[in-house]
Amino acid sequence: MSFFKKLKDKFSGSQEQEQTTEKYTEGLTKTRTGFAAKVNNLIARYRKIDEEFFEELEEILIGADVGFETVMELIDELKMEVKRRNTNDPEAIREIITEKFVDIYTDGAEVQSDLNIQESELTVILFVGVNGVGKTTTIGKLAHKFKEDGKKVILAAGDTFRAGAIDQLEVWGERTGVDVIKQSEGSDPAAVMYDAVRAAKSRGADILLCDTAGRLQNKVNLMNELQKVKRVIEREIPDAPHEVLLVVDATTGQNALIQAKTFKEATDVSGIVLTKLDGTAKGGIVLAIRKELGVPVKFVGLGEKMDDLQPFNAEKYAYGLFAQAFEEKEVADNEAGE
């Protein structure tokens, strides 16, 4: 059975599986009509796989923000697999790319994308990232998700420097029916976190979602501030924060990777939230982040709706990129066989 067919069967097992797979397929429309369409066009133009074919494919992958090192590894693996399968048919490459995308992301092991949720005690999740990447919106959408799961959630307005940041979080608090712990604009973020942890404990909350400042103009000050916030949380709850989620904007491509590296140097990032993946034609950044940082992508933004922030799944991602082309080929083959 082909790899694509295996994925299709796997995702048609339940209504929930089919709905999330559909979200990936819809959310990756821009990447599919950009990157995947170029791959499909390349396959259509060549009668056989040769060095020129691989050179063009290399350019397409680099253009999709997959990252230079990852592209070199992927091309080497594709060449080996083509040789192993003893195929010269460009049509076969689409299936191999889909499979290798999953392999490179997982690196041969199961990647843990679930959040580190504490049972029967308070879970503290710290959100970091530069301004404008969708950090506050991500917090609001996750608050909604946890509330739907029956959890008691509290938000901490730790971005006390950006004008309007506290108000923005309060709007999300009202929309989701969740309390927001805040102080006045310009106050010490660590003091806000102290208040928030104490409030979450006393109110019997399950989840505390903490917003932080994202000014990269003075990197040293920002990183020192994040370390101070973490120390305050750790003093109140020794093994917290249980997750440090770095929020990056997929539409900024290699810039997102640079930001991710900067934050990873300064704080223990445990996972990535990749927002606006639906807004880019270069969705390869998922692979670059995973490969170059060694940090799992835990959530991806696949649209504007409240439930369009989805847990990341490498197989659904690869399937969403190439599903349309595979299905069109399947229909064409069936018609040709009739």
261-291 pLDDT tens trace: 888 877 789 999 999 999 988 888 888 888 8
Going along the chain from its start, the domains and CATH numbers come out as 17-109+317-327 (1.20.120.140), 123-312 (3.40.50.300)
Compute the distance between CA of residue 53 and CA of residue 87 in angstroms, rounded to an integer. Answer: 14
DSSP states along 286-331: HHHHHHHH---EEEEE-SSSGGGEEE--HHHHHHHHHHHHHHHHHH
User: Is 278 annotated as ligand-binding?
Assistant: yes
Compute the distance between CA of residue 317 and CA of residue 101 in angstroms, rounded to an integer. Answer: 9
Query: Is residue 100 within 8 Å of residue 78, measured between CB atoms?
Result: yes
- pLDDT, tens only, 193-223: 999 999 999 999 999 999 998 765 556 777 7
- Check residue 197 and give its pLDDT: 96
The average pLDDT across 47-65 equals 92
User: Is 337 annotated as ligand-binding?
Assistant: no
- Find the Cα–Cα–Cα–Cα dihedral 32, 35, 40, 45, rounded to 10°: 150
Average pLDDT, the chain: 87
User: Is 211 annotated as ligand-binding?
Assistant: yes
User: Is 232 annotated as ligand-binding?
Assistant: no
User: Is 132 annotated as ligand-binding?
Assistant: yes
- Find the Cα–Cα–Cα–Cα dihedral 228, 231, 237, 240, rounded to 10°: 80
Compute the distance between CA of residue 312 and CA of residue 114 in angstroms, rounded to an integer. Answer: 9
User: Is 131 annotated as ligand-binding?
Assistant: yes
Q: Has residue 224 got a pLDDT over 80? A: yes
Question: Closest Cα to residue 282, out of 24, 23, 33?
Answer: 33
Compute the distance between CA of residue 302 and CA of residue 288 in angstroms, rounded to an integer. Answer: 18
- pLDDT, tens only, 145-204: 999 999 999 999 999 888 889 999 999 999 999 999 999 988 899 999 999 999 999 999
User: Is 323 annotated as ligand-binding?
Assistant: no
- CB atoms under 10 Å from CB of 51, counted, come to 8
User: Is 212 annotated as ligand-binding?
Assistant: yes
DSSP states along 97-166: HHHHHHHHHHTTS----S--PPTTS-EEEEEE--TTSSHHHHHHHHHHHHHHTT--EEEEEE--SSTTHH
Which helix H or strand E contains 211, and what residues bound it? Answer: strand 207-212
User: Is 133 annotated as ligand-binding?
Assistant: yes
